[in-house]
Amino acid sequence: MTPTTTSKQGPGEKRPTAPRPTAPRRPANAAPGEAPTTPRPAPAAPTPTTTGAGATDDGSPTTVVPPRVPDDGSPTTVVRPRTPEGGGAPPAARGATAPAPSTAPPALRPGTPTPDGGTTAACTPAPAGTGTAAAGGRRAPWRRPRVLGGAASALVLGLAGALLLGGGGWPAGLTVDLSAPLDDANQWVLDNRDTHPLFLYFLLHLSNTAVDAVNAVYGVLAAMGWPGVLTAGVLLAWRAAGFDRRGARVACVAFGAFALCGLLGMWDATLLTLALMVVAVAVAALLGALIGLAAGLSDRVDRALRPVLDTMQVLPAFAYLLPFVLVFGTGTPAALFCTVIYAAPPMARLTALGLRSADPGVLEAAVSLGANGRQRLWTARLPLARRRMLLGLNQTIMMALSMVVIAALVGAGGLGEEVYSALSTVDVGKALAAGIPIVLIAVWLDRTTAAAGDRLGATAPRRGLLHGRSAWALAAGGTLAATLAGLAFGTTWPRGWTYDISTPVNRAQDWIVDHLSTGVPLVGGTQVWSDAFTVGLLNPLRDGLQWLPWWALLLLVAALARLVGTWLSALTATAALAATGVLGVWTKSLDTLSQVVAALAVTLVVGVLTGVACARLRWVERWLRPVLDTLQTMPQFVYLIPVVALFGVSRAAAITAAVVYALPAVVRITAQGVREVDPAALEAARSMGASTRQQLFQVQLPLARPALKLAVNQGVVLVLAVVVVGGLVGGGALGYDVVKGLSRGEMGTGVTAGLAIVCLGLVLDRITQPTARGPRP
């Protein structure tokens, strides 16, 4: 009997096709063990053109892959640590995916970072081609020196030009002011919101429906009272994860999460956030599933959709807020709609991927038995896609959560609002009180959906009262009973059962400021480090970038992009950078760019070192794994809280948040890449007497190059997303403009800055695309 092997035949496993790149937003990690289980589809299909590729896989439910999610085909990558079938966590465990070497390696690409579920996965590096890559194909080795030379000469030329002609910003004549027309548009919307038919007969209905839906759900949750909601959350988690030991653990997580939300005095805010989530996730999942269905069944839809989804992956969460605020104004509708738009793509992609990667053998068997199209869909394709769809749901939920939190900027209310208002007054204690529930909810949702996904393995369902439909009835009954009990004892969280952590936290923060910020013997202090970092690295970098003549910078970017990619990616990168100049935010863009580059440098140094340590030292890996899992579950907003406590409001704080946010991905990808180096090659080196150092530098790191490139690319996108959020805590530049635009209704400024951020994202993405040279199958 070889149950295991058979069970592992993922649908995708045998596909003849080629891998496709995709890019998950967050890197994934996959457990090696898991990897096999996950199907690694190698779909064929042409690669998407735009963004790079990351591949993903889905195998595991938990990963969050953001926007750039898998396309079809991708082999994947993102796997979550606990895997579905993996059962026992393999040594490598959470985190690493194990791509089979032979299969196409997946490439993962990050998209914008999202907070996704946490434990997201790692990715495997792979060369999946990106669109451009496709064009490039594998480059002949002899051409590389020439390209290198070209890049070097461009750099030299640029510097020489700068010295000769003097530096300078973007010429004023080449700018186009978008602020005025945007402000006009905004004004027009404001003026006509109550009269124009477009609003009266369409948009107004949308926004009213959104508000009604959220209010209705909130009403139900409030009516259930805290006992009802708490019981529902616990039983739901338990039922979804199965009524067994694992289910019990997940149920404990749920109980702890809800109880702490109440204890911290955030019960109402939690309910509001949950209400938003319920509505947003329901709509996003439905929309995503329908789109995915269309893309899974029709090649034409799939082709049309892919570039759209690819583009969506590059956009930071912030970029989604602006257009909705423009149309709907601040408030729940804008928050809800952008959450839906932001969260739907993973569901769409994974549904389409699931449908497309159904085992062709099974489908052929169904046809050979005379199944018609509808029967094939319902009895074979959809059931086979279930696990991927559940993974999509997990990612959709985690992305929705992060967006709902960020949407506090446009008046969404709930926990995000609490964090935002606390941060804007630098009240770390209050921010933490709201931030902890966000993390807990994220963990609860992630664990629950991940466990549910794991259960969809090939094992037989158990029967009995605690399984199947009767278990749902049991959970519903329990909830009902708790609700009734709640009606008797009171539905609001008891006042006496709260604990105010903001005072002790603020006291602790004061102590930190007093004792750790300066004057610590030998090591200095956080303020000292932050100043040193700002003065020593950040300022020179920013000034240097701003001093370079604009055309030299364009040339440099073009050369870099050509170096790693194709002419097309060079063109895209250059055009995107030029666009920031045209938008009139050249200087600010370079400021933001300098922060991204500085954060990236720190992230890579720390991340790669840690990743290598992880791969080589078992105990490091064991200790880090749970930490990384948790870090990856949190929405990016939450990262700001502790860094403000340590570094105050400054650019260094924003950068630290970005580094912390991007680190888990970089560590995981690096560790996985190093660990998965062909064991035969390593063994050969060892048999020839290579020292540890030689093994690392001559075998492991060179062979892990694709993973390292991928880590760089993921790092870039993740860092960029948080540097923008960092506008809230002193990052300044573009991020601040966006936040200001959103919170004060200055659409012109906000949208311009938002566009510039998108452009920067494109530039960075193109010059770090790791997959550009992937072999095309």
Considering only residues 8 through 27, tell me which ones interact with other proteins, judged by CB under 8 A: 9, 14
Q: What is the CB neighbour count within 10 angstroms for residue 536?
A: 10
CB of 366 to other proteins, least distance (A): 7
DSSP character string of 295-310: HHH-HHHHHHHHHHHH
Phi, psi of 513 (to 5 degrees): -60, -40
CB of 385 to other proteins, least distance (A): 10
DSSP category for residue 273 = H
Give the SS3 label for residue 71.
coil
- Closest CB to other proteins among residues 8, 616: 8
Q: How far apart are CA 510 and CA 444, in angstroms?
A: 32
CB of 294 to other proteins, least distance (A): 23
**Candidates 15-23, 338-346, 436-444, 454-462; binding stretch for other proteins (CB under 8 A):** 454-462
Residue 44 binds other proteins (CB under 8 A):
no
Q: Are 666 and 26 in contact (CB under 8 A)?
A: no
Taking Cα atoms as reference points, which of 227, 230, 235, 222 lies closest to residue 271?
222
- Closest CB to other proteins among residues 359, 765: 359
- Closest CB to other proteins among residues 14, 776: 14
The interface mask with other proteins, positions 460-489, x = CB under 8 A, is x-----------------------------
Residue 745 binds other proteins (CB under 8 A):
no
Helices within 80-196 (DSSP H only): 131-136, 143-165, 179-192
Residue 457 binds other proteins (CB under 8 A):
yes
- Closest CB to other proteins among residues 1, 688: 1
CB neighbours of 436 closer than 8 A, spacing ≥ 6?
260, 264
CB of 8 to other proteins, least distance (A): 8
Q: How far apart are CA 562 and CA 558, in angstroms?
A: 6
CB of 466 to other proteins, least distance (A): 17
CB of 365 to other proteins, least distance (A): 3
Q: How far apart are CA 634 and CA 177, in angstroms?
A: 37
Considering only residues 557 through 616, tell me which ones interact with other proteins, judged by CB under 8 A: none
DSSP category for residue 88 = S
Residue 459 binds other proteins (CB under 8 A):
yes
Tokens at 89, concatenated:
């966590």
Beta strands in 116-225 (DSSP E): none
- Closest CB to other proteins among residues 174, 458: 458
Among 304, 458, 488, 535, the residue binding other proteins under the rule CB under 8 A is 458
Residue 641 binds other proteins (CB under 8 A):
no
Residue 167 binds other proteins (CB under 8 A):
no
Q: How far apart are CA 47 and CA 764, in angstroms?
A: 20
- Closest CB to other proteins among residues 13, 302: 13
CB of 776 to other proteins, least distance (A): 20
- Closest CB to other proteins among residues 149, 360: 360
Cβ-count burial of 467 within 10 angstroms (0-12 exposed, 13-18 middle, 19+ buried)? Answer: middle
Beta-bridge mates of residue 717: none
- Closest CB to other proteins among residues 3, 173: 3
Residue 7 binds other proteins (CB under 8 A):
yes
Give the SS3 label for residue 714.
helix
**The residue to which tokens 């020292």 are assigned:** 691
Considering only residues 375 through 414, tell me which ones interact with other proteins, judged by CB under 8 A: 375, 379-380, 383-384, 386
The interface mask with other proteins, positions 144-163, x = CB under 8 A, is --------------------
Q: Are 18 and 43 in contact (CB under 8 A)?
A: yes
Q: How far apart are CA 430 and CA 420, in angstroms?
A: 10
CB of 380 to other proteins, least distance (A): 6
DSSP category for residue 524 = B
- Closest CB to other proteins among residues 212, 364: 364
CB of 56 to other proteins, least distance (A): 21
Opening angle at CA 606, ends 603 and 608, nearest 5: 95
Residue 1 binds other proteins (CB under 8 A):
yes
- Closest CB to other proteins among residues 369, 484: 369
CB of 461 to other proteins, least distance (A): 9
CB of 467 to other proteins, least distance (A): 13
- Closest CB to other proteins among residues 383, 775: 383
- Closest CB to other proteins among residues 41, 664: 41
Q: How far apart are CA 597 and CA 194, in angstroms?
A: 46
**Candidates 3-11, 264-272, 388-396, 626-634; binding stretch for other proteins (CB under 8 A):** 3-11
CB of 750 to other proteins, least distance (A): 48
Give the SS3 label for residue 777.
coil
**The residue to which tokens 């709260």 are assigned:** 498
- Closest CB to other proteins among residues 102, 372: 372
Q: How far apart are CA 774 and CA 753, in angstroms?
A: 34
Q: How far apart are CA 660 and CA 603, in angstroms?
A: 8
**Candidates 49-57, 190-198, 265-273, 455-463; binding stretch for other proteins (CB under 8 A):** 455-463
CB of 731 to other proteins, least distance (A): 48
- Closest CB to other proteins among residues 384, 556: 384
CB of 356 to other proteins, least distance (A): 17
Considering only residues 338 through 377, tell me which ones interact with other proteins, judged by CB under 8 A: 359, 361-362, 364-372, 375
CB of 6 to other proteins, least distance (A): 6
The interface mask with other proteins, positions 96-135, x = CB under 8 A, is ----------------------------------------
Beta strands in 186-302 (DSSP E): none
Type and span of the H or E element at 245: helix 245-263
- Closest CB to other proteins among residues 379, 506: 379
The radius of gyration of the chain's CA atoms, rounded to the nearest angstrom, is 25
**Candidates 6-14, 470-478, 530-538, 634-642; binding stretch for other proteins (CB under 8 A):** 6-14
Beta-bridge mates of residue 122: 79
- Closest CB to other proteins among residues 366, 759: 366
Q: Are 732 and 593 in contact (CB under 8 A)?
A: no
- Closest CB to other proteins among residues 461, 490: 461
- Closest CB to other proteins among residues 198, 369: 369
Q: Are 1 and 86 in contact (CB under 8 A)?
A: no
Buried b (16+ CB within 10 A) or exposed e, 719-745: bbbbbbbbbbbbbbbbbbbbbebbbeb
CA distances from 19 to 76, 159, 357, 771 (A): 9, 41, 11, 12
**Cα atoms in the 13 Å half-sphere on the side-chain side of 349:** 40
CB of 4 to other proteins, least distance (A): 8
CB of 63 to other proteins, least distance (A): 21
Among 2, 102, 195, 687, the residue binding other proteins under the rule CB under 8 A is 2
Q: Are 106 and 126 in contact (CB under 8 A)?
A: yes
Give the count of residues interacting with other proteins (CB under 8 A).
30
Q: How far apart are CA 59 and CA 81, in angstroms?
A: 10
Phi-psi region of 745 (alpha: psi -120 to 50; beta: other; left: phi over 0): left
CB of 78 to other proteins, least distance (A): 22
Name the residues that contact other proteins, by CB under 8 A. 1-3, 6-7, 9, 14, 359, 361-362, 364-372, 375, 379-380, 383-384, 386, 456-460
